[in-house]
Structures are given as C-alpha cells and as structure tokens.
Structure 1
Amino acid sequence: MNSDLDTDTAAARALFQSLEGMEGLSRPEPAAAAKGATRLPGQSALIKLYPGVLVAVTIALASQWLAQHYGAPVMLFALLFGMTFHFLHQEGRCIPGIEFSSKAVLRFGVALLGARITASQILGLGLTPIVTVIVGIGSTIGLGAFLAKRMGLRSSFGVLSGGAVGICGASAALAIASVLPRGKDAERDTILAVVTVTALSTIAMITYPLLTAALHLDHTRAGIFLGGTIHDVAQVVGAGYMISPHTGDVATYVKLLRVTMLLPVVFTIAFVVARMGPGAAGGAKATVPLFLVGFAALVIVNSLGWLAKPVTDAANEISRWCLVTAIAGLGMKTSFKDLMTAGWRPVALMVFETVWIAGVVLVAVEFFT
C-alpha cells in the first residue's frame, strides 16, 4: 500500500524530469505507460519539437520587448540572444525544435511577405524606379559573387550577401540561405550576413536622410533613393517618414518593389543550384520551393483585392514574428567562436555592396528621374 510520502516522491520525480526535458536533457519514457497509451495524430512530432520551438519563441518575445524599449533592431537582439543559447543545439531535446524554427518557420514567414504587396503599388511607381531596382539588385548580386572569389570567400556567400543588401536585408538573407547548398560554414555565413546587413541598414537609416538633404533631392527622388538603397523595410519606413509623409510613402513602395524581387531571385538561385548539384548530370530537375509558391499566390490574391486589410495586417504581423523566431533558432545554431573565424573580408564585401547599390540608385535618381 502506497504511503503519502511515496506519492509525493513520485510527483517530485516527474516534475524534475519535466524540467530536465525543458533544459534539453534526455528524459526516459515510462515503459509501462508508454505502451498502452494512445496518441493523437501529430502528438509525437509536437512532443519532439515543442522544447526547441518554445525557447525560440521566448527569445523572440524578449527581443521584441527590448527592441520596443531601446529602439534597436529586433533581428539583432534575436540573433545575439539566440547565440548565447547555442549550447541547447549541441545536444538534448531542443535540437529538433531549433531546426524546425530555423527552417520551416522561416519559410512560412517568408511566404507571408507576399501579403504586403500588390501589383498596382509596383506599377504605380513608373518605369524608372522599376528598372533601377532590377539593375541595382542584379548588379549587386553579380558583384558580390565576383568579388567573393577575388577575396578568398565562397561565391555562395557573395550571392547571399548581395541578395541581402540588394533586396530586403535579413529576410532576403534567410530566404536565399534556405535554397543555397548546405556547406559546413553555411549557418555561420547566414548569421554573419544577417548581423552585418542589420548593422549597415541601421547606419543607412541615420545617414542617408542627411545625404539626400546635402544633395538637395526633392521628396519624390529622396523616397526613391531611400527605398532603393536601405536594406530592411523597417529602416526604410523610419528614414522616409523622417523627411516627410510623401517621401515615406514613395520609399515604402520602392522598398516593396525590392521585396517583390525576392521571388524571381530565390527561384533563379534554387534553379541554378539544382542544375549545378551532384545529380544535375543525371537529369535532375529544379523544383520550385513551396514557400515561393505561397509568396507568389499571396501577391496575386492581394493584387486582386481578395484580402481585406485586417487579413493583410495579420499576415504581416505573423510573418514578422515567424522571421524573428527563425532568427532566434538560427542564432542558437551558431557559436560566437565560429562567427569570429570568418575574419574581416565578409564585412568588407558587404560594405562594398552597400556602397555599390547606393551609387547605382543615386545615378538613376540624379540623371533619369
């Protein structure tokens, strides 16, 4: 006959085993109970993923709170916090959830970016901004791939960094990284690209409005310049409305045009990678990533006016949280030590790419607008 002391001891043991599971330590399954219990569909996957996903979401929440109170980029906070919890990705129960956050949650967040964009917004800009954006993005990615080889870096990092600088900062870096070959330094390169592009975007948000004033650009041309050069959407909005509401509107639409380019750029990279892969000679075919299909479908549906504003607002908010959670997961997969081994060359490359795209857009604004 069990005593109260035995009951309390069993309860305490179960509690400590649960806490160990949250810490990422392995927990043995009760043999007798596990065999006779019936599981709901997907319950095993949920049990396997929830510790790592819960940690990533918690980091995202903390990062958002700090970003709101201190005005720093939320992506940067999520990265740094994630990297401090790198030990959770080295062993234990958190690994599957961290992998899920950095891959599946990321792709879902990128797909939802399509809800921001409509065809009328893009076409309303006119021909010059559209051509400028296409030339700027294409030349920046090409320049990145070219200079990466000359600087002793992998060409894939040049494509990754060029896409991040040219399109939409951290979001583009994550999307492009998801279709690039998975080398041993792939995670480190992605983290490095996100950290650098976020820092450069913050610097640009502060300095570029001063540059437009020094160059005596009117509000429309200033909006085109800011939207065509600053990396992240949030910094574009901040810099544009810092000058005037009209400048902010123009900058936002130009930036959305750059976000639209994420679809053809990522698809092209995925196609090229598939053709160059080990199975290319054997007739392997490039497949369209599902998150790009979702991105394109949302752009089309939103352009047709089938999405109400509350729906698009909710999609944008969910997308933002997914990307921050994915960044936290990606951070947990990377150590400070691995990041420091990259050296100064990747940062120098991204600075040069930033200067390049700023020069391309400035020439277009001064002579063709």
Structure 2
Amino acid sequence: MTGRQRADFDAYAGDLFGELVLAETAPATPLARKPLTRFVPGFAIAAIASAAAAWLSQNYGVPVILAGLLLGLALNFAAGDPRTHDGLDAVSRHGLRLGIVLLGLQVTLMQVGAMGVVPFAGLALVMAAAVMAAQLAARLTGQGPSVGLLAGGATAICGASAALALYGVIGRERIEQAQFTLTLVILAAASAIALATYPALTTALAFSEAQAGFLVGASIHDVAQAIGAGFAISDSAGAQATVVKLTRVALLAPLVTLAALWIARAHPLPASARAARVPLMPSFILAFLALVVINSLISLPEAVAASALVASKTMLLLAVTATAMRTRTDLLLELGWRSVMPVLAATLASLGAALVFAQVAL
C-alpha cells in the first residue's frame, strides 16, 4: 500500500456514516466499478441474524436490540470472511442512517410544545444529569471524554439510536469499536431492566399518572420500552410517557450538533487524522429534522407513521447486528468493568433526577 493509499484509508477508517471529506481530491485515475453482488453475503447474514433476534423478541420477550447485539457477537466469526465485509459495512452505515431519519415521522413540533415549560425544564435537567454523570464516571475510571459523551448522550436521548448517531461525530479514532459495541450492550440491558422495574417503582412511591409517565418517559433509554412502561402503568401515563420520550428523540439533532462542537475541543484528533472533516450537522440529522417538520405541517395517515416506525426499527436492528458482527470480541473482553461505569452512572443519574423532579415539581 502506497503512502497516499494509506493516508486515504486512515482518513476513512472511522467514517461510519460516509460523512468525512478529504482535504485533497481523489486520485485522477477512476476506480473500477464493483458489482452490486458484493453486498449480498454480508447483507444476507445480517438479515438472517436480525430475523432471529426479532423472533426471540416476539416469542420470549427479549429486547430486540439486545437480541440483535448478542446474536451479532455470536456470529462474529462470519466477519472473518472478506466476502461479508462490504455488505456488513453498508448495512451498519446506511441502515443506521435510514433508521434514524424515519424516526422523524414519530415526532411533531406540536408534541414538543404541548409538553409544557415545567416538564420540559425537568427533562432538560434529567438529560444534563445523565451526561455529567457519564463524564464524571469516565474521568474517575481513567477513560477519555469521548467515552463519557457517548454513554451520557445515548442515555439522555434514545439509547442505541443516539449512540449510533453520536458515534458518527466521535469516530473510531477516539473510541474503539469494541467500546462502542459494549456501550450498546449495556444500554440495551439497562433499558430492559428499567422496563421491568420502573412501573413497579412508581406504584410503590404512589406516583400520580402524570408523575409516573414523566418518570418512565424521561429516564428509560429505548423508545419502545419507555412508551411500553408508561402504558403498563395506565393509558394516561402512557400518553404522558410518549410525549416526554418523543421530545427526547426530537432533541437528537441539537445534541449531535453540540457534541460535534464540544468533542473537537475536548478530544482533538492527532495531526495525522485532521485531513478528514466531519460536518457540524450530518446529512442524516438534517433529513431527520426535515421529516419532523413535514410531520408537523402535514397530517399523515396513521398507517404511514406505523409503517415508518416498523421500517425504522428494522433498519436500526440490521445496523446494530451488523456492527456487532464486525466487532473484535477479543478487544471487547479486554475492556473490563471500567467500560461499563459511564452508562451505569448515566442511568442512575437520570433515574435519580427524574424521581426528584417528579416528586417536587409535578
């Protein structure tokens, strides 16, 4: 590999979303066009594993993202075949983008406005507590600020979807893919535990329906599990949890923008990596915002929103499964307990802040 080829490879090595732009133009000689069939092996194995994860979720109640992660890790050996690389990389990149974009059809600006000033302030407090706790835990365990940002931001917004989006602006140069995969596993596990325990906690504390809905909507990571926990309490609590949770989803775009600004200062890349540039607002986030606006201005049929949600979950499941398959499990095993602490700290901080706010202000 020549020096120029090596530089190009290094620049794109962390480009999960294909958003990086080299400072110099591409070589003058055009590359040979590769057949589309090169994507088939990787896509096929990711689709089969994702279908198995969906079956486990439907029949045994396993969180679908957690099932996809574990099956992807179990099938990690398949990524040893170079024929699967193109398909797995394409699924993890483009499936993620499309899945996040389609989430925009689940949110309207009116839902965010209907939440009210006081609950919105409480939600901002809960999210800030999650990010700060993750940063503190990362520092105390000797990890970089990028790890704290990934764990805290993902906990504050919507779990795996936010983690994938944040990883796009953080990059593999700052966080190894094994650390990223472990973060996804812990997020999924924490969300599953919250779904099982938070409704009972609100009952034990004799929370009102508004308090209970705010608590689960503001502190459970995964969208489906946050809303499901709300409706497990009551229909009114479920409606409140839906508004709170979708408001968190709508804040994904500003969070990614702020993360891009902050991480460049807090954890700058070495000089050798600065030939690559990540846009302040990735294109898939702009598309997400565009769908939020369209969904706010146009009354779309319920079937459209329902189909978009299923498609979004499918794309995100494929992306997570493919990412797990491409993770080196030997590095995952070497990370140790310290790598778990930022997500754990962010989860406990968001729960604590949501509990205090619900008791005091609602």
**Fold shared per TM-score above 0.5:** yes
Aligned to 1:26: none
The CA deviation string for residues 70-125 of structure 1, in whole angstroms up to 9 with x for no partner, is 00111111111111222232342110111111112111111111110001111111
1:320 to 300, 313, 329: 313
The CA deviation string for residues 314-357 of structure 1, in whole angstroms up to 9 with x for no partner, is 22111110000001101101143322211111223322211111
SS of aligned partner of 1:217: coil
2:41 to 51, 60, 70: 51
In the alignment, residue 322 of structure 1 is paired with which amino acid?
A: M
Q: Is the 8 A contact 1:191 1:330 kept in 2?
A: yes
Aligned to 1:257: 247
SS of aligned partner of 2:171: coil
Question: Percent of aligned positions with the same letter in both sequences?
Answer: 36
Q: CA deviation at 1:282?
A: 9.5
The CA deviation string for residues 103-162 of structure 1, in whole angstroms up to 9 with x for no partner, is 121111111111100011111111112111122212321331232122111221111111
**1:250–1:194 CA distance, 2 compared to 1 (3 A):** same
2:94 to 104, 114, 118: 104
Q: Is the 8 A contact 1:197 1:231 kept in 2?
A: yes
Residue correspondence of structure 1 range 327-338 to structure 2 within 5 A: 327-338=320-331
Aligned to 2:338: 345
Q: Is 1:204 the equivalent of 2:204?
A: no
Residue correspondence of structure 1 range 229-240 to structure 2 within 5 A: 229-240=219-230
Calculate the aligned-residue CA RMSD, in Å: 2.2
Aligned to 1:38: none
1: distance between equivalents of 2:328 and 2:276? 38
Q: Is 1:172 the equivalent of 2:162?
A: yes
Aligned to 1:30: none
1: distance between equivalents of 2:106 and 2:176? 29
**1:146–1:314 CA distance, 2 compared to 1 (3 A):** same
Aligned to 2:4: none
Rg larger for? 1
2: distance between equivalents of 1:225 and 1:213? 12
In the alignment, residue 224 of structure 1 is paired with which amino acid?
A: F
Aligned to 2:116: 126
Structure 1's unaligned 5+ residue stretches are 1-41
1: distance between equivalents of 2:86 and 2:261? 28
2: distance between equivalents of 1:143 and 1:364? 17
Q: Is the 8 A contact 1:111 1:291 kept in 2?
A: yes
Q: Is the 8 A contact 2:79 2:85 kept in 1?
A: yes
1: distance between equivalents of 2:164 and 2:196? 24
Q: Is the 8 A contact 2:41 2:87 kept in 1?
A: yes
2: distance between equivalents of 1:281 and 1:347? 30
Aligned to 1:62: 52
Q: Is 1:365 the equivalent of 2:348?
A: no
2: distance between equivalents of 1:335 and 1:299? 36
Structure 1 stretch displaced more, 136-145 or 262-271: 136-145
Structure 2's unaligned 5+ residue stretches are 1-31
How many corresponding residue pairs? Answer: 328
Aligned to 2:146: 156
SS of aligned partner of 1:168: coil
TM score, norm. by length of structure 2: 0.85
In the alignment, residue 247 of structure 2 is paired with which amino acid?
A: L
Q: Is 1:188 the equivalent of 2:178?
A: yes
